[in-house]
Chains A and B, each alone.
Chain A
Amino acid sequence: MSVSVEKLTNGHHRTLSERMQFLSSGTKYDSCNQSAVCHAFGPDGRCIQLYKTLLTNYCAGECAYCPNRCERDVPRVSLTPEEITKITWSFYRKNAIEGLFLSSGIIGDAEITSQKQLEVVQLLRQQGFTGYIHVRMMPGTPKYILEQIADLANKFGVNAETTSSINYSEICPNFDYKNDVLQRLKWTRDLIREKRREYRGTGHIVGANDTQFVVGAVDEPDRDIIRTVNKFMDKYALRRPYFMSFDPIPDTPLENGSPSPKWREQRLYQASFLLKDYGLMHKDLEDVYNDSGNLMNTDPKLELANMHPERFPVDINSASMDELLLVPGIGPVSANRIIHSRPIGSEEELARMGAVVSRASPFIDLNGVRQTNLASFTGGYS
């Protein structure tokens, strides 16, 4: 199962462009955007702002959902640190990217792989690269390498993939959830805190702890995922989770699984924003799941409002921030703007504040008049 470092030279009969294509394609499902400048958008609408690549698609791991798992018979290629830095510089000077996102298959073990990743980052920084660097570390990366990465990269972290040790061992049999993932999330949190103190006021970007979940690879309900996200936010200062929809890959143990519906990822993001931006806790969302504990294909905030008619209507001109935030169609920015611009005289004014009036109107009271629509008229909201 183990792959030696020497084997990394294999695949070099392919051109740089071919190897680059293989390895960047291997990261296309990885979400890693920072909130700065996007430079292009793919035909799927996703932002491209970093040069995303694997160092290699050789891998000793046997993760059940992964196209790079060691048992699959696919061409294996790698890029040298010099090649990665060269491509990064070229795209960066062309203003096509903000920096680099670096992941990798496991070469030998987590220590050797993360050392190789460190080499790339060191080389770039030695060459004076000031752009953004995000390194997706291997489960089980030793602490001393994480510490060195923390000195050079803007963001780094380990993927949790799932919500529990049992589920994890089912899909990632080579690693231990508690030790290789959770322990690393804790170290990452501590290192980020330290770096934030160190770089305060210097303009240096220190990203927050981040992690990714593969949605739909194992049979775990959305309730468990959201509960885990909430726990990670409290425990590991996770700012936002990333979700990657499971898509069955031929020649993997999960090849006969069903792909996770596209909307599921979107609804999970919406639910996680309710935790991140609206200050809700996972238990506040209990009512929005179906009997199997999954989100439905509707906006969880709208669902929540419909389940609690006793909270409405909210008086636009006197409601607190928390009350306004419960109204579908009113987000943190528009709620803030409403509070600073009261009294609000009309729906037109409300729309100018950024509220989506058509969504908000069944739930609000504007100047003593409860807004109505067909649903409320027919009793849908009261």
Chain B
Amino acid sequence: MIIVFKPTVDGVLLACGSLADHPGSTLMVAKDGRQLKEKLRFSGIEDQIVRVGFDPSTNTSRLLKNVFTNTWTRISPLDPGPLKYIDLVLRHGDADPEDLVRLLWSCNGDVNAMYSKKTRISLRYYNYMREVTRSWQRLCMFSRPSFTNGLLFAEVDSPHEISDIFCRWLARKNPDVPVAVVTDGTAWIGNGEFVGLEHFTTISAAFVENLQGSADDEGIDELWDVYYDSQMIEKRRNRGLAKKMQPLGSSTLSKMARRDRYKVERGISSCTLDGFI
């Protein structure tokens, strides 16, 4: 038997439930009906097929209870709940949803086994979850949107699918302005009601780019440099720690972060207020 599932949280949980009913089945992932047809034609498989996760959402929490019999205990304050865990893993550029289903199935109903890092595969997927979280958090930390014509605008280039969650975060942080986060020709819009759209939606990036004019935040970069430099305690310079905290990767996220990273590497010029105080 072949279990075909959609790479969503529902799809993964339903596939896991089907695998429990039909152990030994082959797993196959497909984004939609068309991809499914193509995959089947290509593989030439003619086994019985079970399709799961393609219908509109069922009760996801109930699906989780079908797969895991015990309750989740938070081990680390950094750990998200199991549904969020699955969601984050599915966003990872290297994650294989079929492997993920097998991992959940191998937990034998113990939800905490997903977090235990006891086996190599659970460690790998736990790390995937953490990597996606870290990429998203780095965007939140080091991305510096522009504020143009009353629109907060950011571009995201990441191997993981995190633009939508970053857009939601930015929109929550700035509830009084519309927010656009652009990736690969698509713009995620938050607080869309300010520009006549739904609260959270996607539109073509070209539409947002039309709104671009001269930024309202000119001069901020220079002011930031003054502020950043003012916080330095020369006697406590700690290059190793600073490089770890302001990683090289942060430089790719914004010009401001690139300059901060440069100062972490090279130090701030000796013209500071330390002489004065």
Contacts and interface: CB of A to CB of B under 8 A. Distances in A.
A295 to B, nearest CB: 19
A40 B229 CA distance: 12
A41 B260 contact: yes
B35 to A, nearest CB: 36
Interface residues of A, number: 49
Contacts of A200: none
A306 to B, nearest CB: 26
Size bin of chain B's contact surface: 35 or more
A161 to B, nearest CB: 19
Given A94-B217, A96-B256, A74 B233 contact: no
Interface string A118-155: 00000000001011000000000000000000000000
B256 A17 contact: no
B231 A24 contact: yes
B176 interface: yes
Contact of B267 (A43, A51, A75, A90): A43
B220 A91 contact: yes
A29 B230 CA distance: 11
A74 B242 contact: no
Interface in B225-270: 226-233, 235-242, 244-246, 256-257, 260, 263-264, 267-268
Contact of A45 (B75, B76, B238): B238
Interface in A338-364: 340-341, 349, 352-354
Nearest to A265: B236
B54 interface: no
A249 B241 contact: no
Given A95-B143, A341-B118, A43 B232 contact: yes
A22 to B, nearest CB: 7
Contact of B242 (A21, A45, A128, A259): A45
Interface of A: 17, 20-22, 24-26, 28-29, 37-48, 51-52, 67, 74-75, 87, 90-91, 93-96, 128, 130-131, 247, 249, 259, 262, 333, 336-337, 340-341, 349, 352-354
10 contacts: A24-B231, A42-B231, A44-B237, A52-B231, A93-B152, A93-B177, A96-B144, A336-B76, A337-B75, A340-B116
